[in-house]
Amino acid sequence: MTAQPTLSSHGAEIPIAGFGTSPLTGDVTPENVATALRVGYRHLDTGRKYGTERATGEGMRASGLPRKDIFLTTKVSHENLRAADFARSVDESLKALNVDYIDLLLVHWPSLTIPLAETMQALAKAKREGLARHIGVANFRISLIDEAIELCPEPLVCLQAEYHPYLDQTKLLAAARKHKLAFVAYCPLGRGKLIDDPVLNEIGKARGRTFAQIALRWLIQQDIVAPIPRSADAKHMAESLDVF
């Protein structure tokens, strides 16, 4: 298998095409995850709040791939951003996934009530203890990104946020690039709204591609990491990889 392109940020090499395990698109099973790895995915995206960490870990082991060949992202939810709760959440993630470390640990959403300084110290501590190789944030607005970077003793490598052709994230993308953060786009297919888009389908028809391949390629050409929504269909998984 040809090595997947990666996006570099502060020492992290993040595979551009990821496999998302959010339960919004249906239950995630170990077989879904194992199939994704077998067809070529090397970046798995889960989260404590998703309830899919156990299935993700089981799928990783069922795939037969060495742990070092898989880039694994998980997230700490907004209600667990106090230092003690944060540490407990990371431990629970490691146990559910049955791994010794996480490649990329994210703050899933910011909290309006918990001081950001406390959260950033807890995030940095997870990295310093070797529980996470890299750290980042998700769903942070521009001013909070600036604040988080200032408060965090360890470098942030990633901003994850929703991005697709129906959602203009020009300003947020510029803010991420200013800090040399990798931008990871979730819901890259617009929560299913892109399926009937006439422009994407017209472009796809002209090039012998699906609407999903066009939408993913649009992101990738902007140097954006794009974890695809969960799929149980190996053919669809492979199609979403065939965008390079």
Residues acting as catalytic residues: 50
Give the 3-state secondary structure of residue 239. helix
Contact 139, 159 (CB under 8 A): no
Contact 190, 166 (CB under 8 A): yes
Residue 2 is classified by DSSP as P
For residue 54, give Cα distances in angstroms to 37, 44, 182.
16, 13, 26
Structure tokens at 62: 């069922």
For residue 193, give Cα distances in angstroms to 167, 187, 211, 225.
11, 10, 11, 20
Residue tagged 């406390």 (tokens): 118
Give the 3-state secondary structure of residue 86. helix
137: part of which helix (H) or strand (E)?
strand 132-138
Structure tokens at 57: 């870990």
Q: Please, how many CA atoms are within 13 Å of residue 156, restricted to the half-sphere of its CB?
A: 32
| Phi, psi angles (nearest 5°) of residue 151 | -85, -20
